[in-house]
Structure 1
Amino acid sequence: MSKSTRATQFLQRAKVAFETITYDYDPDADRVGLQAAEAIGVPPHRVLKTLMAEVDSRPVCVIVPSDREVSMKKLAAAFAGKSAQMMRPADAERLTGYHVGGISPFGQKKRVPVAIEASAMDEAYVFLNGGQRGLQLRMAPADAQAALDAKIASLIA
């Protein structure tokens, strides 16, 4: 597995401190984020999942703890929209340039607005996908927020 991806290159260019963690990705896992948390031995709320959604038909990136679900109502409100829905996996892959299970918020092919769940900002460090299945990036949540110019909002149901 390569530890150099568009995501890691993006962070290096932005001079953001991070550590790479690899694990055995299970393609049959019901919930990829929870499987990643278990594999690397950290609480699930520290492993943040990257989801692609649409607010009023505009693409957005949403980052929430892997053990929580996104509230579509709160997501729409975070982007001053009326409605939100999850993006189809094929559309998410085309937009980001990453495969589902390996979608990183960093270094996506097309930059879209990003929102991070507010509770994640309370952690000393979090894990985000590194741009391929089985690769996590450990970093301070404030560094992730700054690198992505992300909104901080209450997004979970």
Structure 2
Amino acid sequence: MAKKAKKQQPGGTPATVALSAAGVEYAVHSYEHDPAHPSYGEEAAQAMGVSPDRVFKTLVADVDGTLTVAVVPVAGSLDLKALASAVGGKRAAMADPALAERTTGYVRGGISPLGQRKRLRTVLDDSAGGHATVCVSAGRRGLEVELAPGDLAALTSAVLAPIGRV
């Protein structure tokens, strides 16, 4: 892991700016994004040489009419029923990608749970707690940020719940 980041990083994303402002320890990993790759998350894990259970994807779902962020390992998928239950909802469905992009300020495949344009309710899969660090999108395709799961949960005010499926 890198030392604490400086307050201003040239070319930073809203996610890295938020991390720097919070003063948490994190590392940035970049790789050449292949537009032909079928999975953004699996591509990130392969490119960084990190186990897919430590790389988390950020998905935006609609839970009873409220956009909600789900952060789950790329090695699995999101359990929509479990997500709804985690936030006291009844029904969840994946959000319209264009709405997710407009609301978060990020493009699909680069949506970060950090530094979103509009802060959304967030649920982090509880498997994150089993790792010293996890990786999530840093706000654009080909850029990941590695940080402690406790810091990720604190900065996003996330609820921890078993929302991932293998």
Q: Residue 93 of structure 1 corresponds to which residue in structure 2? A: 101
What letter corresponds to residue 58 of structure 1 in structure 2?
T
Task: Give distance in 2, aligned partners of 1:126 and 1:145.
Answer: 11
- Structure with greater proportional strand content: 2
Q: 4+ residue runs of structure 1 moved beyond 2 angstroms? A: none
Q: Deviations over 1:75-130 (max 9, x none)?
A: 10001000001111111100011011111011100001100000111101110100
Describe the SS at the equivalent of 2:33: coil
**Contact (CA 8 Å) 1:129, 1:135: kept in 2 or not?**
yes
Q: Residue 131 of structure 2 corresponds to which residue in structure 1? A: 123
**Contact (CA 8 Å) 1:56, 1:84: kept in 2 or not?**
yes
Task: Give distance in 2, aligned partners of 1:84 and 1:6.
Answer: 27
Task: Give distance in 2, aligned partners of 1:149 and 1:136.
Answer: 20
What letter corresponds to residue 66 of structure 1 in structure 2?
V
Q: Residue 77 of structure 2 corresponds to which residue in structure 1? A: 69
Q: Deviations over 1:33-81 (max 9, x none)?
A: 0011000101101110001111001001110000111111101000100
**Contact (CA 8 Å) 1:20, 1:135: kept in 2 or not?**
yes
- Judged with a 3 Å threshold, the aligned counterparts in structure 2 of structure 1 residues 64 and 3 are, in CA distance, closer, same or farther, namely farther
The unaligned stretches of length 5 or more in structure 2 are 1-9
**Contact (CA 8 Å) 1:73, 1:84: kept in 2 or not?**
yes
How far apart are residue 3 of structure 1 and its match?
4.9
Q: Percent identity?
A: 42
What letter corresponds to residue 73 of structure 2 in structure 1?
P
The unaligned stretches of length 5 or more in structure 1 are none
Task: Give distance in 1, aligned partners of 2:82 and 2:122.
Answer: 14
**Contact (CA 8 Å) 1:53, 1:87: kept in 2 or not?**
yes
**Contact (CA 8 Å) 1:51, 1:63: kept in 2 or not?**
yes
Q: Normalising by structure 2, what TM-score? A: 0.91
Task: Give distance in 1, aligned partners of 2:152 and 2:159.
Answer: 11
What letter corresponds to residue 30 of structure 2 in structure 1?
T
The alignment yields a C-alpha RMSD, in angstroms, of: 1.0
Which of residues 58, 62, 66 is equivalent to 1:50? 58
